[in-house]
């Protein structure tokens, strides 16, 4: 005979007792919540972030000595809207243009000019405009790259991304780039006024001081 009273008594006891697995899971959840509170609390993270940002920019150069070089066989310094745009943008940002040159589309001429500038004590940054396209006499990139100790491909990538908004797929025809030569940052921009102004305003003014500070560390 089945003892229904005994079976009901056992069932009642089982329902009153908490399953050990559930008890363990509940305790673990409480522990996780407590750890999450500790991990996601303030914990000084704000101060650490401020300190890290300060350290990251500790070597920034606030006032740069800049050399501007226009590469063109058809322009002159009195008719150089791209060079004027670069000079105006950098001076408005508080930097000093210590050299302004115009040289023809010559590999040796471009390389010789850049080599002389990066060895000047008063030059922190060089900005060239012109000679970055795909015609046979566009030789600025080839000449500059031979002097680079480190290339900065992100500059050209960002410049082309920003320029795409204005000129669309035609941007594939520019080889704008940047690099570090003897501790001096060299930016190579296209020869059009709009391109020179965009690169100077949107990228160079924002990053030149930081890059120049990093490039000259240890000198």
For residue 26, what pLDDT is reported? 43
Q: 20 or 80: which carries more pLDDT confidence?
A: 80
For 155-201, what is each residue's pLDDT tens digit? 999 999 999 999 999 999 999 999 999 999 999 999 999 999 999 99
Identify the CATH assignment for 65-215 out of 3.40.640.10, 2.60.120.10, 3.40.980.10, 3.40.50.300.
3.40.980.10
For 66-102, what is each residue's pLDDT tens digit? 999 999 999 999 999 999 999 999 999 999 999 999 9
For residue 59, what pLDDT is reported? 78
Chain centroid to CA 219: 23
Domain boundaries, the chain: 1-38, 65-215
For residue 27, what pLDDT is reported? 44
pTM of the model: 0.75
Task: Report the alpha-carbon distance of residue 122 to residue 82 in Å, rounded.
Answer: 23
Backbone angles phi, psi at 207, to 5 degrees: -120, -15
- C-beta separation of 154 from 160 below 8 A: no
For 91-135, what is each residue's pLDDT tens digit? 999 999 999 999 999 999 999 999 999 999 999 999 999 999 999
What token pair was written down for 101?
């040159």
For 24-70, what is each residue's pLDDT tens digit? 444 444 444 444 444 444 444 455 545 545 556 677 999 999 999 99
């Amino acid at each position: 005979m089945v003892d229904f009273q005994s079976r009901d008594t056992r069932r009642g006891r089982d329902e009153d007792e908490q399953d050990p697995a559930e008890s363990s899971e509940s305790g673990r959840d409480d522990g996780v919540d407590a750890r999450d509170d500790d991990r996601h609390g303030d914990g000084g993270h704000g101060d650490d972030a401020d300190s890290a940002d300060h350290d990251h920019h500790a070597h920034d150069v606030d006032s740069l000595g800049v050399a501007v070089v226009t590469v063109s066989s058809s322009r002159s310094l009195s008719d150089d809207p791209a060079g004027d745009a670069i000079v105006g943008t950098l001076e408005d940002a508080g930097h000093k243009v210590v050299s302004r040159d115009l040289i023809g589309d010559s590999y040796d001429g471009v390389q010789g000019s850049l080599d002389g500038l990066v060895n000047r004590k008063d030059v922190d940054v060089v900005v060239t405009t012109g000679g970055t396209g795909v015609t046979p006499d566009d030789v600025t990139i080839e000449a500059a790259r031979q002097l680079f100790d480190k290339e900065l491909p992100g500059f050209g990538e960002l410049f082309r991304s920003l320029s795409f908004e204005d000129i669309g797929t035609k941007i594939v025809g520019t080889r704008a780039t940047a690099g570090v030569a003897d501790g001096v940052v060299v930016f190579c921009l296209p020869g059009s006024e709009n391109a020179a102004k965009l690169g100077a305003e949107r990228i160079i003014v924002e990053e030149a001081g930081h890059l120049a500070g990093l490039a000259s560390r240890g000198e």
